[in-house]
Structure 1
């Protein structure tokens, strides 16, 4: 299967989800319910199996370094741009940076990695990097903005790995890999079945989420913000990842994995965090919607060029 043709099932299932939601076949809460199923059950099963079967020596250190370099650069550019170009306050800058550089490694990342890369091993490493390193960098200033003391919030951030099923499953997978443990046959078979639902359910949920009421009109300045965020996310981040990968002498398959993961759209957690902290909700919502829609084309283009 060619790299471009690998996107065909992604487009088809996304269109199925959109059409089903538009025709009212799945109910008004379809995207939310399917998204929770993927996030809390199917995706953790897939990540646990992938990481538990990956020897720690097999972790792609140079590939992850290239991805991390692109993430740091783009999050920093978004953070600075929010302040210097658009005069956004301290509470909104982390959301801006997250919208520009925090990739959707879950709902869209798993089907993309499965179809294009053949496995989710590198994506699982990206998940660990984002949730264990990037997320605290985003949440700490948001907490400080809301509550200068931030005492209770520090404990909440510290407990994130055990409250988030994706992080917990990833950490358990790494622990099992390190200890050489494998789940019992019946448990492994059940996890395999559950993980098999992650890709189709995630894509149907993605399509359903794209069918939404028309958003309120944005001011010209907000459209300028959205355009810059979209350019940083879908163009600058994969280009920087590609440059870093070349500098680190990655192989062609490694370079493809790094660029594809860096080219994933803005994570839905960006909007969730903006809602939780009451800052930047409009720009976060639009960034998720626009980058998700456009990424289906930009990712296919990137895969075709690298292929």
Structure 2
């Protein structure tokens, strides 16, 4: 019994430790916005800094150090299946039921299936699972597979990154789609990282250390930016009944639908062991990543729905993560 109680307390400590930076940094951003300390353009400037500078540095550092064969195994198949179902369902709901255009639906898909694997997934995995090896695979899957798909939908459904024209259409054509990887800093940094990893190169510390330092600013700055946006209040109908219904639908898909699909695929279909099953379900139950808010801002879309989904799913996941860890034997 003491061991069980110790495990439960350790799991709760991991959850609180993981959630604390989210709430503290978002709260700081809100306070800064309320006080007008950084001026009216702070949210836009910080958002662009994250998208164009800090996040590419973080992704290059992460991917360049990864092993090329990192995606093997049925556990990754189960997680990928849960992501595909959740993101696909989110896209259809937001587009067909709530009437968003393709770019808005792409953000809905991301909010439904892109998990907060870095600043929340890692501390939870280390404490509940004992290591973060599977979370590292999840991060790379989202960077190299999910994000390029979402960014392609955004690029094809808007006038271009960050031009401030919500929902504007692009003529672009095939040529623009083919050149998007070299125009988008997120995808370009990821591709460069893959090339370095595949070639077995080890860049000098004079290059990697500045990237690590710069990349470390991505998550805290994104959370500060999220807090700044909360000071403006609900956006995009977020305060209306329809806006609340959209947020509730996306959060339900993210916090309930995705882990349930992961449980069904990893358990009855693939027959994973208890440890692997717990890892897949826990990662699928993580809340929406702040990347969806940053992407929406950068592409000139209404970022209110993504912001609301992040805040609401983070609150709900405090319960669902605890329930998943308890039901599947975490700790």
Q: TM-score range by the shorter chain?
A: 0.7 to 0.9
Structure 1 residues 152 and 16, CA gap change in structure 2 (3 angstroms): closer
Contact kept, 8 Å, 2:287 with 2:314, in 1: the verdict is no
| Unaligned runs of at least 5 residues, structure 1 | 276-280
1:243 aligned residue (239, 244, 264): 264
1:287 aligned residue (305, 309, 329): 305
- Give the corresponding residue for 1:203: 223
Cα distance in 1 between the residues matched to 2:260 and 2:110:
12
Are positions 1:57 and 2:69 aligned together? yes
Deviation at 1:99, TM superposition (A): 0.7
Contact kept, 8 Å, 1:238 with 1:262, in 2: the verdict is no
Deviation at 1:8, TM superposition (A): 1.2
SS at 1:56's partner residue? Answer: coil
Matches for 1:72-221 after TM superposition, within 5 Å = 72-81=84-93, 88=99, 92=101, 95-96=104-105, 98-102=107-111, 110-117=118-125, 122-136=138-152, 152-215=172-235, 220-221=241-242
| Unaligned runs of at least 5 residues, structure 2 | 1-9, 126-131, 160-166
Are positions 1:38 and 2:50 aligned together? yes
Structure 1 residues 36 and 273, CA gap change in structure 2 (3 angstroms): closer
Cα distance in 1 between the residues matched to 2:147 and 2:105:
17
Deviation at 1:104, TM superposition (A): 8.2
Contact kept, 8 Å, 2:288 with 2:309, in 1: the verdict is no
SS at 1:58's partner residue? Answer: coil
Cα distance in 2 between the residues matched to 1:175 and 1:160:
17
Matches for 1:254-265 after TM superposition, within 5 Å = 254-255=279-280, 258-260=283-285, 263-264=288-289
Structure 1 residues 264 and 187, CA gap change in structure 2 (3 angstroms): closer
TM-score by length of 1: 0.77
Contact kept, 8 Å, 2:95 with 2:104, in 1: the verdict is no
Residue-by-residue CA offset, 1:63-99 (whole Å, 9 max, x unaligned): 443333223323443454467656x4xx736733641
Structure 1 residues 47 and 62, CA gap change in structure 2 (3 angstroms): farther
- Give the corresponding residue for 1:20: 32
- Give the corresponding residue for 1:5: 16
Cα distance in 2 between the residues matched to 1:83 and 1:187:
43
Flag as ranges the 4+ runs of structure 1 deviating above 6 A. Answer: none
Deviation at 1:181, TM superposition (A): 0.6
Cα distance in 2 between the residues matched to 1:189 and 1:39:
19
Cα distance in 1 between the residues matched to 2:311 and 2:321:
17
Cα distance in 2 between the residues matched to 1:70 and 1:51:
23
Contact kept, 8 Å, 2:54 with 2:217, in 1: the verdict is yes
TM-score by length of 2: 0.72
